[in-house]
A and B are shown apart, each in its own frame.
Chain A
Amino acid sequence: MKLVIGLDGQSSGEKALEFAKSMAARMDSCELIVVYVIEWSPFSFQTAEENAQRHKRREEEIKVAMERVVNPAVKLLTDAGLTARAVVRHGDVADTIDEIAHSEGASQIIVARSSAGGFSTRIFGSSTANLVMNARVPVTVVA
């Protein structure tokens, strides 16, 4: 059985992680995939200089996400004797988590409830809400 855990780098993500951990501990064999998505769109506008530096920045962004968010989470899970691995991707958060879960054949996605609030969330919806509405894999939202 495979579980995908979507982290957003906020403290609420820890709750999702704890939930997944306790769930996996009760199963015989379970693989955990910790996913962190760096919000990015191929249709944004950039200057020529930003484009020239883009590859370098991308590597840096992935490195930071690995070090600060994903690797500590994977370590927490493996220390508890579970099988876990990390995936860091650029893209739309909801679409990318769903895409990974779908292509990995995961049976469930676990995410924390939306940590952002305010004006833009009211208009565009949160990533969590978008994921719940559009995912092709069952989603558990941890409060």
Chain B
Amino acid sequence: MNTIYKLFFTVAAFFAVAVPASAQEAVMTLDERVNSMFASSTGWFVSAIFAPIPGTSFPWIVMWLVIGASVFTIYFAFVQFRFFGHAIELVKGDYSDPNDAGEVSHFQALATALSGTVGLGNIAGVAVAVGIGGPGATFWMILAGLLGMASKFTECTLGVKYRNEYPDGSVSGGPMYYISKGFDELGLPGGKILAVLFSIFCILGALGGGNMFQANQAHAQITQITGDFPGWITGLIFAIVVFAVIVGGIKSIAKVTEKVVPFMGVLYVGAALIVLIVNYDQIGWAFGQIFAGAFTGLGVAGGLVGALIQGFKRAAFSNEAGVGSAAIAHSAVKTKEPITEGFVSLLEPLIDTVVICTMTALVITISGQLLWDETAGMYLLNDAGTAIATVGDTSGVALTSAAFGSAISWFPFVLAIAVILFAFSTMISWSYYGLKAWTYLFGEGKTTELVFKIIFCIFIVIGAAASLGPVIDFSDAAIFAMAVVNIFCLYFLMKVVRAELVSYSGRLKSGEIKKYQH
């Protein structure tokens, strides 16, 4: 394990590289200092992940995700549509053995995974996509969501198939396990190294998108209501509560959150529907904007390609298809057939992206928050030319909040509570994903686990204090770095999933696998 320790700390050291100490820093506030330190130490990593394909402005990572999702969709012959009905039946428990009652059900595994993904990506992330890429980004986001269902199916099937079941009855699963065990089984070299690499990126992803981005946007939403105050204060409060749950073992807080979050999700979709119903006459126009923007750009920053990049990026960030995180969450289910969890998991990008993200995008589009130049028939850009100009110059979660607020004046307060709870539940989920990667590297044990949990809490404070730009860049980069390793490995392992699929669908057709009488 010593070499792995060294490897990790080398990577960590890279991020801490030389922070330029200038005289100016003496007068900087704590928030500004955290921000500049953070931006300068992560910049190289962000540029590597988002490097454009030579000769174009298209980031290679976006292409990587799209190709991955398309390959899985074709390789499994549109499994996301063929087995959609079956997935619903599985979630309903039609195929669950009554003797397994009390074990983790398909519904529970799906709900747990969803509570890790449904969150700020759906509220703030979509606002970023629509703000920069215009309504047209929504079209590409939906497409990415539909394709991503196949990626999710692939990784979650493998997550269950190659999970570790310990003598005490607990389970651990996820890409690090299927990469190392799967590669060994197929006689491929390098499984262990790739699993370690994935784990390192997973830890960074947990600290970035699963933590800092959440803290940052929760703070942004709170200041919308209370007025401006330093981010580290919000961060500290969040850190203390998260610490109480993951270190102090105060399960009651997590339990309450897990129960409130689904209601918040329903409330959010409900509110979005109300806004849409009130403005029903504009829904057609909004879809028109989405389709027109998807292919023409309508004058947004970066034009058509800008819309496409934003759509795909934010979809991947929101539903995490191909990233590998869901495979960790889904692997605890009780089933004799790993592929059943794959079917169930394909509902996740659908609910997360195709339904919830689209709702947000429609609300923002019809709210009139994006400034439209009637004479030019195009969106107005802000002064810097980086995004569409908005009423009150908002972006991220503030834009979503303003969009809802324009229709339901008190909704920003509800949204603030929803954002805090979503942020919190996503942090709890990701602390678990990160911990699983951490223990994969360093072994299970009280001290090693505590070290990770403390680092995790420190990053909450950093995330809340830093400004959105550097945080969102690092969060994206870390999460997409996971996808680089994960999708690469899925290409080798997808034949294992196909064998499962052929065997299972054969038995389903022949009637060997049948529903239980309930």
Residues from chain A with Cβ under 8 Å of B429 in the complex = 47-48
Chain B, Cβ-Cβ closest to A61 = B102
Contact A56–B169 (Cβ < 8 Å): yes
If over half of A's interface residues share one DSSP class (helix, strand or loop), that class is named, otherwise mixed; here it is: helix
Contact B109–A51 (Cβ < 8 Å): yes
Residues from chain B with Cβ under 8 Å of A61 in the complex = 102
* A126 smallest CB distance to B (angstroms): 21
Contact A45–B259 (Cβ < 8 Å): yes
Contact A47–B254 (Cβ < 8 Å): yes
Q: Is B428 interfacial (CB-CB < 8 Å)? A: yes
User: Contacts A52-B332, A55-B334 given: A46-B102 contact, CB under 8 Å?
Assistant: no
Contact A40–B101 (Cβ < 8 Å): yes
Q: Is A53 interfacial (CB-CB < 8 Å)? A: yes
Q: Which of B101, B109, B171, B262 contacts A90 (CB 8 A)?
A: B101
Residues from chain A with Cβ under 8 Å of B116 in the complex = 48
How many Å lie between the Cα of A89 and that of B102 in the bound state?
Answer: 8
Residues from chain A with Cβ under 8 Å of B101 in the complex = 40, 42, 89-91, 96
User: Contacts A42-B105, A45-B115, A90-B102 given: A59-B169 contact, CB under 8 Å?
Assistant: yes
Contact A42–B108 (Cβ < 8 Å): yes
Size bracket, chain B contacts: 35 or more
Residues from chain B with Cβ under 8 Å of A51 in the complex = 104, 108-109, 112, 329, 332-333
How many Å lie between the Cα of A52 and that of B433 in the bound state?
Answer: 12
How many Å lie between the Cα of A47 and that of B96 in the bound state?
Answer: 21
Q: Which of A42, A53, A56, A62 contacts B93 (CB 8 A)?
A: A42
Q: Is A99 interfacial (CB-CB < 8 Å)? A: yes
Q: Is A86 interfacial (CB-CB < 8 Å)? A: no
Chain B, Cβ-Cβ closest to A42 = B105
Residues from chain A with Cβ under 8 Å of B102 in the complex = 38, 40, 54, 58, 61-62, 89-91
Residues from chain A with Cβ under 8 Å of B254 in the complex = 47, 49
Q: Is A43 interfacial (CB-CB < 8 Å)? A: yes
Residues from chain B with Cβ under 8 Å of A44 in the complex = 108
Chain A, Cβ-Cβ closest to B163 = A52
Chain B, Cβ-Cβ closest to A44 = B108
Q: Which of A48, A54, A55, A99 contacts B432 (CB 8 A)?
A: A48
Contact A47–B112 (Cβ < 8 Å): yes
Residues from chain A with Cβ under 8 Å of B432 in the complex = 47-49
One digit per residue, 1 when the CB lies within 8 angstroms of any chain B CB and 0 when it does not, for chain A 56-86 equals 1011011000000000000000000000000
How many Å lie between the Cα of A71 and that of B170 in the bound state?
Answer: 27
Residues from chain B with Cβ under 8 Å of A45 in the complex = 108, 111-112, 115, 258-259, 261-262
User: Contacts A40-B102, A45-B108, A48-B328 given: A55-B170 contact, CB under 8 Å?
Assistant: yes
How many Å lie between the Cα of A10 and that of B207 in the bound state?
Answer: 47
User: Contacts A47-B112, A99-B98 given: A42-B332 contact, CB under 8 Å?
Assistant: no
Chain A, Cβ-Cβ closest to B260 = A45
Residues from chain B with Cβ under 8 Å of A46 in the complex = 104, 108, 111-112, 258
Q: Is B374 interfacial (CB-CB < 8 Å)? A: no
Contact B168–A56 (Cβ < 8 Å): yes
A sample of 16 cross-chain residue pairs with beta-carbon separation below 8 angstroms, ordered by A number, consists of A42-B106, A46-B258, A47-B258, A50-B251, A51-B329, A51-B332, A52-B171, A52-B332, A53-B170, A55-B103, A56-B168, A58-B102, A58-B103, A91-B98, A91-B101, A96-B101
9 closest Cβ contacts across the A-B interface?
A90-B102, A42-B105, A56-B169, A51-B332, A90-B101, A58-B102, A55-B169, A48-B432, A45-B258
16 extra interface residue pairs, beta carbon distance < 8 Å, beyond A40-B101, A51-B108, A91-B98 = A42-B93, A42-B101, A42-B107, A43-B105, A43-B107, A45-B108, A45-B115, A47-B112, A48-B328, A48-B329, A48-B432, A51-B104, A52-B172, A53-B169, A55-B171, A55-B334
